[in-house]
Structure 1
Amino acid sequence: MSYSLYFEPVLRLVPLAALALAGCLPLALALYRQSRSAWLRLLTFGFFICLLLNPIMVKETSRPLSTIIAVVIDNSRSQNFGTRKRDTEQALAALKQGLGRLPQIEARFVQAARQDNNPDSDTLLATRLFTPLQEALADVPPARIGGAIIITDGQVADIPALSAADSAAALAEAPDEGNRGFVEASDEGKSRLAEASDEGKSRLAARLGFDAPVNALISGNGQEYDRRLRFIKAPRFGLAGKEVPLSFTVQDEGAMPAGLPPPIIELFVNGEKQGSYPVRPGAETALTVTLPRTGSNIIELKTPEIEGEVTAVNNHAAIIIDGVRENLKVLLVSGEPHNGLRVWRDLLKSDTGVDLVHFTILRPPEKQDNTPIYQLSLIVFPTTDLFVNRLKDFDLVIFDRYQHYAVLPLAYYDYMARYVENGGALLMAVGPEFSGGRSLALTPLSRILPARPTGNIFEKPFLPQLTEAGRRHPVTQNLEGGATTPPKWGPWLRQIEVEADKDSMVLMQGVDKAPLMLLAAKGRGRVGMLLSDEGWLWARDYQGGGPYASLYRRMAHWLMKEPELEEENLTARAQGYTIFVERRTMKEETLASPPAAAAKDKTAPYSAPSASAANSPIGRFHITLPSGRTMEIQPQKAADGLYKARFDSPETGLVRIGNGDKNVIVHAGVPNQPEYEDIISTPEKLAPIAAATGGHVLRLRPKAQDNVHIGAIKLLSAKAGLSTAAADSLVLRQSAASAPVAEERLPLMHNIWALLIGLGLLALTWWREGRA
C-alpha cells in the first residue's frame, strides 16, 4: 500500500499563474508596509489558490510480482561420465522441491547443450550454457530476475568475460574442496568487489543480460582423475605412400593413483595396427606414419583405460589426413600425327599434377633420308631406359594411334604387358592402324588387350551412346548430355570394329551397337581402349561437341585406380555422428520381392525399405560400432548402380561398415572435440562470475562416497548488496517489481469542510480589516 499526492487544477496553468501573480503583488505591498492583516490575507489567498489547484490524495494497493529465476541443466556428453548424470537428476529433484517451498519464486528450467548429431552444431564442439540462459530470460524485465542456478560439471565454454573490476575480486577466489567444495569470495575479495565501479558492474550485467546472482552446482566429485591423448602437430594433407611427421602427448589430470606404469600407446592407420610405443606423461612424443592411400586416412592413437578414471573416451585420439598423389607420370606414345594428338597433349599439359613424357616417331627408320650424317645433330633416343628400366615409374602409358615400328623391339611390348600385369595402367586410342599389318594386336602386347580387331573400319557418321553398363559405371555415368536417349552429343566419323573379350566392360557403343569404349582388368593392372580417333571432334565443338575432357580424364583416373571411380565400391563419410554410406555396383537388380518378404525388414534400425530397395542386388549394410555392437541398415536406390543409406552413430570412434566383400571404416563424431579435452569436473571456471554477481559455486558431492547436497536457498531482499549468506547456500534476489491491484482517489479540497474553512478565512479577514 502506498500514498501519493497529485494536483488536477480547476483552471488552466496560464490563467492560474496570472491570477496568483495578480494576488501576490498587493500582498507583497501589504507585507512591506507591515499591515496588521497582511499575514491573514496571505493565508486566505494561499488557501484559495490551493483550492483551485485541486490536490488529490491517491491510495494505491499493489501486489509484489513473482521472482523469476532460470535453472540451466547441462546435457552435454561429458555429463554422461561417472555419476554425473545421476547427480544432476538428484540435484534437479532436490532443487525443484526447495523452490516449491518458495511460492514467490517462478523457476524456468532450461535443458541446454543437448547432445546433437548435427555436424554444424556447437554442442559437438563445446558446452555453451550462458547463451541459452540469456535466451530463457530475454523476455523478463530486469527487475523481476532473481538469479540463475546452473547444474553442470563446470566445463563451460561461453562464460562472459569479466571487467577489470570484477577480475580484481576474482583474484581473491579461494576454492575450498575440503569444505564440501563450496567456493566463496574471501573477505579481501568482497572488499575489492565492493570498491568496483558501478560502470564495471553495469558492463557485466549487460553481458549477462541481468543483474542478479549466478550460482552453480558442480556434478562429479573432487577426487576425479583422467588420462587423455592429444595430438599436438598433425598436417591436414600428405603425399600418399610417403611418411608424415606427427606429435602427440599423454596428459594425466586430477588425483592420479600412485605407482602407475608408463602408458603404452598403440598406433593405427585406417584400422590396422602399426606399432606400440611407451611414452612419458606430459612429454611431447614425435612419430612418423606412412599414408597408404589417396583420400582420407584415419590415424588413431589408443592407450589402455586406467581403472577408476572418469572416462576412456579420450584415451583415444584420431585425426584425418588427406593423402594426395605426387605428380602423375604419364608416358604418351604417339604414331602418325593427327588432329586428336593435340587434344591429348593439351589435356595432359594443362594439368599441373601431371608430368608428361611424349615419345613420338617423326620419321620411321625404314624411310630414306639423304641428309649427310655429318650434318645431323641428333643423339640416340634412350628407348631402353624409357621402355625397360623406367617403365615402372610411370602411372599411365597412353598409345595414341601407334603401330609397331622397328625402333621398338618386340621384347619391349612384352615388358609393357608385364608392366600392366604387375599393376600398371595402359590406355589405347586407336585408328585405322589398329586393323593394319603392324597393329599392336600382333605384338606380345596382345595378351593384355581386351579386344582384337576384325579388320573392318566404319567410315560414316555415328552418335556415341552409353551401354547399359555405361549407365551404371562411374566413368561414364552422369556425363554431361548423356542422360537422354539419344544423348545430346555431336557425332564421330570413324570407328574400328573389334571383337571384345567376355571379361571386358563395354561402356560406350557406336555403329550398329559395336563396342566403342572398353575397360578391363588384366592381372593387377588395367587396360582401356577407345576404338575411334575422332574424339577430337567433341573438343572442336563439332555439331554441339561433347564432354571429351571429362571422358578422357575419368578413363585415365579409373585406369590408375582412383577410389571414387571404382565400379564395385563402398564408401562412407561422417558429418558429426551422422554417417552417409554409398555402394556402387555393376550388379543388376533382381525381380521385386513379394510384400511378405519386405515385412521382414521391420527389425532394421533404419527406416523400412522402399519398393526399389526390396530387390536390391547388394543386400543390407552391416555396421559395427566402436564398442563392438552390430546393426544392419537397408540401402535405398539413388541411381542405376548406386545405393545410399544414412544413420546416426550412438558412439564416438571408428565405425566399420561392410557389404559382401567390401568394407570401409569411418570416424563417428568430431575427432578430438573440445567437449572431451577437459573432462575433470571443476568449480574454478564458474567461481569468478559467481563471486562477481554475489552467487556461490558448490559441489554436489565433494567426495565419491558423499551424498548429493545442494545447500540452502537464500532469498535476499531486492535492495541487498553482495551476499553475506553462508557458502553452503544458493543465493537469489527477490523481485522489486509489483503490479497495482486497486486505486482510491480522495480530493482534499472538494468537500464541505474546505468550503467552511474558506468562508471562515474570508470572514476573519473582513472582521480584521473592519477593526483596523
Structure 2
Amino acid sequence: MNWSISFIPFVPWPVLWIVAAVGAVLIALLFWRARRGAAMRLLAFAALLLALANPHLKQEDREPLNDIVTVVVDDSQSQTLAGRTKRTEEIRKALEARLKEVPKLDVRVVHSNSSSADNERDGTMLFTDLGEALADVPPDRLAGVVMITDGQVHDVPEKAAALGFDAPVHALLTGKKDEFDRRLEVTAAPRFGIVGSTQTVEVKVTESKPREDDIATLTITHQGKGPVTKTVRVGDPVEIDVPIDHAGPNIVEIEVNKAPGELTQINNRTLLTVEGVRENLRVLLVSGEPHAGERTWRNMLKSDASVDLVHFTILRPPEKQDGTPINQLSLIAFPTRELFQEKLDQFDLIIFDRYQRRGVLPLLYLENVARYVERGGAVLVSSGDDYASPLSLYRTPLGEILPAAPSGRVVEKPYRPTLSELGEKHPVTGDLAGAHGGGPDGKEPTWGRWFRVVDVSPRDAEVLMNGADGKPLLVIGERGKGRVALLLSDHAWLWARGYDGGGPYSDLLRRLAHWLMKEPELEEETLKASSKGQSLIVERRSVKDKIDPVTVTTPSGEEMTVTLDKGERGLWRKTLQVSEQGVYRVASGKLAGLATVGKANTREFSAVTASDKSLAPILEETGGGAFWMGRAEGEGGDLPRLAMIRSGHVLHGTDWLGLHKRDAYHVKGVRLFPLFSGFLALALLLGLLAMAWYREGR
C-alpha cells in the first residue's frame, strides 16, 4: 500500500497558471506599496489556488514487478573458432545460474546467428536480434543487457539513444587479447569479361598484428586447373590475371598459406566469379550448292545478334563451263586464301552445308581446317547425299577428323528422328522439347518426319540421334583439342518450316554449336553445386549408369561423403541443408565444383580475432563494461560479480558488473480522499478574506 498526494484541478492547468501569475503580480504591487492586509490577501489567494487545484490523498495498492535482464548469446560462425563454442556455453550456464540467484530478477536468453533463411544477413547482428527480443519488454523493467560474444559485431548503433532503453550493456568476450590471424582481402574485382580476354583482380594479404618483412604465398586455381603460386608481401596490393575462357561463370579460387600461430585458415581463401560474355560469335558458313535448307541455316544464324556470319554459297561448280568470264560469275570473289589460311583461327565455328569436293577449295585449305580442329577449333558438317558420293568431304584431308565413315548408301524413306540411348542422357539432346512425348508408348518424339539419312559407320565418336532403320543421324566426336559434329541428313529445314508438326531445329543447332565450343553447361560429364537459402544443391550429369559418391568440403574444412539420387536423363542430384556460410567444395574423381552459401566473402570472417573496439563506444555510453573471459589455452576468465544498483552512470568495475534496480510495479487499485474541498475550503477561504478586509479597515 502506498500513499501520495495527487491534484485533480477544476480548470485546465494552463488557466490555473495564468491565474496564479496575474495574482502574484497584483499581490507584489500590494507589498511594494506597503498596503495593510497584503499578507492576508496572499494567504487568501493561495487558498483559492489550492481549492482550484483540488488536492487529493491517493492510496495505491501496488504489486511489485521483477526486473528483466537479457542475455544475448553470439552463435555466429566466428564463435566456432578456437574453442569459443564450448566456452560460450560454459559462460552462459554459469551466468544464468548466478542471475537466477538474484531475487526478483527475470532472465531472458536471446541466441543470435550470423545466417538467415534468405541469406540476406551478412555478419553478426546482435543488436538487431536484441531489439526484436525486447519488443514486448517495458523499458522501465529492463535492468541490463549482457552479451556473450567475441566482440566482432556489425550492427553496433552509433548512439545509445538508438537502443530504445536506458540500461547498461555489458560484454563477456569469449576470446583472448593476444589472438593472431591472417586473412585474404579482395580490393578490386570485375564482374564481367569478354570471352578470350584477361581480367585483373586485385587482392591483399593482411594480418591482425603486422610483422616486419612478412612474406606470404598465394595459390591461384582457375576453373579447377593446376594451381599457380605467387609470393607476395603482406599488406601490399597484388594484381592477378584471370583469363576468361568461356561464356558464363569463370571461377577463380585464391588462397594464402597458413601463418604460424594463426587463429584459423577459413578466411585465407576467397572465391571470385567473373561472368564471361561473348562479344560476338564468329561463324563461317560454306554452302556447297543452293538447296531448300540453305536459307534456313542463314536465317537462323542471322537472327542472332551475337553472331557475326560469313556465308558463301557455291552457285555453280567448276565443271559447268560455258565461256562466261570469271569476273561475271559473282559479285564478290570467294576469298579462299584469306579465310582458310590467314584468318581461319579467328572463327569460333565453321559449318559445311552440303559441301563436296569440286576444286573450289584446294585440299591444302581443308587440311588447314583439320589442323584448326586439332588445335581447339569447332567444325559442324551438315550433309546430304553428297557425303555418300565419291566427292565426299570424308575423301579429303578433312576426313581424318570426321566422326563417321560413309558406306556409299543413302536411305530414303519417311522416319521420325529419335534419340539414342546416349542421346537420352546427353545435355545436347536429352531434354529437347518433344523428345519424350507422343506415340503409342508415350516415348516416341512428337517431331516431324524427315526423308533421307546417309548410312555411315561411326569411328571413335558418339551417336546422339538415329534416323531411318536405326541409322546414325547425329554423330559427335573430339579430335585433339577440338570437336566435330556430323548431321547426316539435309532435311532439318523441314522442322524449321513446321512440316508435320516441325521440331526443335533452333534449339538443337544452338546447343550443338555451344557443345562444339566447349560451353561448360553442355559437357556430358559435369559436377556442379549451387545454393538456395541455406540449402546446398549438388548436381552431377553423366552418361554412365553408375557414378562415384561426391565429397563435400565445408567452409570450416570438414568433409562429408554424399551419395546422389538418380534422376532422369543422366542427371543425379542431392539437396543438403547446411548451417555454415561461405565456400563449399564438391569433388568426385577428376571433377570438382565450388558454390557459395550466403556470401563468398562474408563480413563474418573478415575479422575473427576477439576485440572490444567495436562495442567500446556503446558500452561506455550506457555505463557497461567489457570482460575478457578467455585467458590461457583451455582456461576461461572468472565470471564478474553481479551488483544491483539503483542509480549511477558507471555500472561496472574490474571484477563486477552492475544492473539497474528498477523497482517497477503494477497498480492493482486506487482510492482518492479530497483534502481541500467542500465547506472546509469555503470556510477557510471566506475567513482569510474577512481577515484581509479587517486589516485594511483599521
Into which bin does the TM-score normalised by the smaller protein fall? 0.7 to 0.9
| Aligned partner of residue 470 in structure 1, secondary structure | coil
Residue-by-residue CA offset, 1:87-127 (whole Å, 9 max, x unaligned)? 433432332233122121101011112566x57251xx211
Pairing 1:582–2:535 present: no
Corresponding residue for residue 686 of structure 1: 615
Q: Is 1:87–1:708's contact at 8 Å kept on the other side of the alignment?
A: no
> Do structure 1's residue 735 and structure 2's residue 662 form an aligned pair?
yes
1:677 is displaced (CA, Å) by: 1.2
Aligned twin of 1:302: 255
Distance 1:90 1:513, change over 3 A: closer
- Residues 257-297 of structure 1, C-alpha deviations (whole Å, 9 max, x = no match): x6664333343334556544443333222232434555444
Q: Which amino acid is the alignment partner of residue 518 of structure 1?
A: V
Q: CA deviation at 1:74?
A: 0.6
- For the pair 1:639 / 2:580, whether they are aligned, the reply is no
Quote how far apart the aligned CAs of 1:457 are: 4.3
Pair 1:262–1:349, CA change in 2 (3 A): same
Q: What is the DSSP-based 3-state SS (H/G/I as helix, E as strand, rest coil) of the residue aligned with 1:639?
A: coil
Q: Tell me which residue corresponds to 2:234.
A: 281
Distance 1:93 1:303 in 2: 38
Task: Give the match for residue 243 of structure 1.
Answer: 198
Structure 2 Cα separation of the partners of residues 89 and 262 of structure 1: 38
Distance in 2 between residues matched to 1:625 and 1:5, nearest whole Å:
68
Indicate if the aligned counterparts of 1:441 and 1:449 stay in contact, CA closer than 8 A.
Answer: no
AA aligned to 1:567 is E
Q: Which residue of 2 aligns with 1:553?
A: 510
Give the whole-Å Cα distance in 2 for the aligned partners of 1:234 and 1:581.
27
1:491 counterpart (436, 441, 448): 448
Return the alpha-carbon distance in structure 2 between the equivalents of residues 406 and 424 of structure 1.
24
In structure 2, what residue type is equivalent to 1:243?
T
Match of 2:465 among 508, 515, 532: 508
For 2:643, the aligned partner's letter is K
| Deviation larger for 364-373 or 476-485 | 364-373
Q: Is the 8 A contact 2:474 2:485 kept in 1?
A: yes
CA shift, 1:552, in A, is 0.8
Pair 1:83–1:512, CA change in 2 (3 A)? closer
| Residues 520 and 284 (structure 1), Cα distance of their counterparts in 2 relative to 1, 3 Å cut | closer
The aligned counterpart of 2:76 is 76
Q: Does 2:497 correspond to 1:540?
A: yes
Amino acid at match of 1:450: A
**Equivalent in the alignment of 1:470:** 423
Residue pair 1:696, 1:731 contacting (<8 A) in 2 also: no
Quote the Cα distance in structure 2 between the aligned partners of 1:626 and 1:107. 35
Please state if 1:445 is matched with 2:398. Answer: yes
1:493 CA drift (Å): 4.5
- State the shift of 1:232 in Å: 0.9
Partner residue of 1:130 out of 120, 127, 131: 127
Query: Which structure 1 residue ranges, 5 or more long, are not aligned?
Result: 9-49, 167-203, 589-616, 755-772
Cα distance in structure 2, aligned partners of 1:443 and 1:490: 34
Contact 1:683/1:698, CA 8 A, preserved across alignment: no
- CA contact 1:237–1:322 (8 Å) conserved in 2: yes
Q: Which letter does structure 1 place at the counterpart of 2:73?
A: I
C-alpha separation between the residues in 2 aligned to 1:375 and 1:422?
38
Counterpart-to-counterpart distance in 2, 1:666 and 1:82: 26
Q: Distance in 1 between matches of 2:213 and 2:329?
A: 80
Q: Is the 8 A contact 1:494 1:533 kept in 2?
A: no
Assess, with a 3 A threshold, how the Cα gap between structure 1 residues 627 and 684 changes in structure 2: closer, same or farther. closer
Amino acid at match of 1:236: R
- Which residue, out of 136, 140, 146, partners 1:139? 136
Relative distance call for 1:308 and 1:438 in structure 2 (3 A) is closer
Deviations 1:459-493 (A, max 9, x none): 54x43333333222211122122220336645244
The alignment partner of 1:428 has SS state of: strand
Please name the residue that 2:157 is paired with: 160
**Does the Cα contact within 8 Å between 1:263 and 1:279 map onto a contact in 2?**
yes
Counterpart residue number, 1:332: 285
Deviations 1:574-607 (A, max 9, x none): 568754322222234xxxxxxxxxxxxxxxxxxx
Any conservation in 1 of the 2:417–2:467 contact (CA below 8 Å)? yes
Secondary structure at the residue paired with 1:469? Answer: coil
Measured in 2, the distance between the counterparts of 1:559 and 1:701 equals 59
CA distance 1:146–1:473, shift in 2 (3 Å): same
Flag the 1:708–1:437 CA change in 2: closer, same or farther, 3 A: same
State the SS of the aligned residue for 1:60. Answer: strand
Code of the aligned partner of 1:467: S
Work out which of the residue numbers 649, 653, 664 in structure 1 matches 2:592: 664
The aligned residue for residue 419 of structure 1 is 372
The aligned amino acid for 1:399 is F
Equivalent residue number for residue 484 of structure 2: 527
Q: Measure how far apart 1:374 and its partner are.
A: 7.9
- Residues 349 and 365 from structure 1, CA distance in 2 versus in 1: closer, same or farther, beyond 3 angstroms? same
- Is the 1:65–1:735 contact (alpha carbons within 8 Å) kept by the matching residues of 2? no
Q: Distance in 2 between matches of 1:673 and 1:518?
A: 46
Matched residue SS, 1:279: strand
Deviation per CA, 1:588-633: give whole Å up to 9, x if none. Answer: 4xxxxxxxxxxxxxxxxxxxxxxxxxxxx22422446678765422
| SS across alignment from 1:301 | strand
Checking the alignment, whether the CA contact within 8 Å between 2:350 and 2:378 is kept in structure 1 is yes
* Cα separation, 1, equivalents of 2:166 and 2:398: 85
**What is residue 214 of structure 1 aligned with on the other side?**
169
SS in 2 for 1:384: helix
Taking the aligned partners of 2:525 and 2:240, their CA distance within structure 1 comes to 35
Partner of 2:148: 151
Cα shift at 1:132: 1.1
* Structure 2 counterpart of 1:153, one-letter code: D
1:458 — aligned with what?
412
Task: Let me know the Cα RMSD of the aligned residues.
Answer: 4.0
SS of equivalent to 1:739:
strand
Structure 1 residues 470, 449: closer, same or farther in 2, change over 3 A? closer
CA 1:334 to 1:243, structure 2 compared with 1: closer, same or farther past 3 Å?
same
Question: Taking structure 1 as reference, are residues 306 and 449 closer, same or farther at Cα in structure 2, changes over 3 Å only?
Answer: closer
Deviates more, 1:481-490 or 1:95-104: 481-490
Name which of 176, 183, 187 aligns with 1:232. 187
Identity among equivalent pairs (%)? 41
Whether 2:38 is the aligned partner of 1:85: answer no
Q: Measured at CA, do residues 278 and 442 of structure 1 come closer, stay the same or move farther in structure 2, by a change above 3 Å?
A: closer
1:63 equivalent in structure 2? 63
Q: What does residue range 383-394 of structure 1 map to in structure 2 within 5 Å?
A: 383-394=336-347
Asked whether the 8 Å contact 2:418–2:445 carries over to 1, the reply is: no
> How many angstroms does 1:332 deviate by?
0.7
Contact 2:427-2:524 at 8 Å conserved across structures:
yes
Per the alignment, in what secondary structure is the counterpart of residue 363 of structure 1?
A: coil
Q: 1:249 offset after TM fit, Å? A: 1.7
Secondary structure of 2:177 counterpart? coil
2:334 to 372, 381, 385: 381
Equivalent pair of 1:457/1:495 in contact (CA under 8 Å) = yes
Structure 1 pair 157–626 and aligned structure 2 pair: CA distance change class (3 A): closer
Does the aligned pair in 1 maintain the 2:66–2:105 contact within 8 Å?
Answer: yes
Per-residue deviation at 1:389? 4.2
